[in-house]
Amino acid sequence: MTRIGFIGLGNMGGPMAANLARAGHGVQVFDLMPESVAKAIAAGCIAAGDAREAIADCEVVISMLPAGEHVRALWLGGNGGQDLLGALPAGALVIDCSTIDVASARQVGEVARAHGIRFIDAPVSGGVVGASAGTLTFIVGGELADFEAARPILAHMGQNLFHAGALGAGQIAKMCNNMLLAIHMAGTAEALALGVKEGLDPGVLSTIMGKSSGNNWSLERYNPWPGVMENVPAARHYQGGFMTRLMVKDLGLAMALAEHAHSAVPMGALARNLFNLHATQGQEHKDFSSIVELYLDKTPDPSQAG
């Protein structure tokens, strides 16, 4: 058993911590939302009074936070932050699973190294369903030896573990992935809306495209049309998934990366505009697959799917 500190128990972090507890590890958790902590306790985790208590006597610490500013505040301090790196013993392993800007990941990693602490950036892909099922993809940046040290822990939460390269490489790969995800989700929603407006059954059209050259992950695994697929956000009014505002955030990170690299990303820029428009219409807290509503006069009726 490994004693693990886990900070950040949102839609993704909560199920991840629960899987570690189910695997037999002692998981000390903290989150600002009491209800999230309560769910983790019910799953076998141990509640901590604050972030510093959560990392006490831990060999491994995992953070899953919304943005770079939160990660910097937690690990480096400042602006009311915790400066937790100074509270960890030399040799401890920090796994940050947040999706953040590359500069923040590298900054925290370099300070950690100066403290004698191992640090990897390990953003994830697979959504809430993957977090709950323990089938996430981990995209890791950092020293190869630190990735290998983290592998047994990550394996309890994910099936696909990739070492993308040096510190920050995990974030770069994640941004590229999420930009592509946004592009094919918007395209899938657009194609389905067109077919339905012309009288096609969305379930039949999804099956046809799924067996044709238009097939993609959004269509096959995360269909945006209500009533076509079970156990996806579209089946529960777009609740409990990857919020539109977070997709907008990730696309913003991708655009900043593209500017830094002098790389043309016209489709990524268009996807960002579409999701940002959707968010500004009061949909920021819905799952990003609700982008289908942008193409319609009203929310799709699940009864339309056959």
Question: Which residues are known to be catalytic?
Answer: 174
Determine the number of helices (DSSP H) and then strands (DSSP E) in the chain. 12, 9
Q: Are 58 and 25 contacting, i.e. CB atoms less than 8 angstroms apart?
A: no
Taking phi first (over 0 means left), then psi (-120 to 50 degrees means alpha), and beta for anything else, what does residue 117 get? beta
Q: Are 159 and 135 contacting, i.e. CB atoms less than 8 angstroms apart?
A: yes
Q: What per-residue string of b and e applies to 213-227 under the rule 16 or more CB within 10 Å gives b? A: eeebebbeebbbbbb
Chain-centre distance for alpha carbon 137 = 10
Q: What are phi and psi of 165, to 5 degrees?
A: 150, -150
Q: Which pairing describes strands 60-63 and 3-7: parallel, antiparallel, or unpaired?
A: parallel
Distance (Å, whole) CA 112 – CA 75: 9
Nearest to 189, CA basis, from 131, 263, 255, 247: 247
Helix (H) or strand (E) holding 28: strand 26-30
Give residue 228's identity as a one-letter amino acid code: V
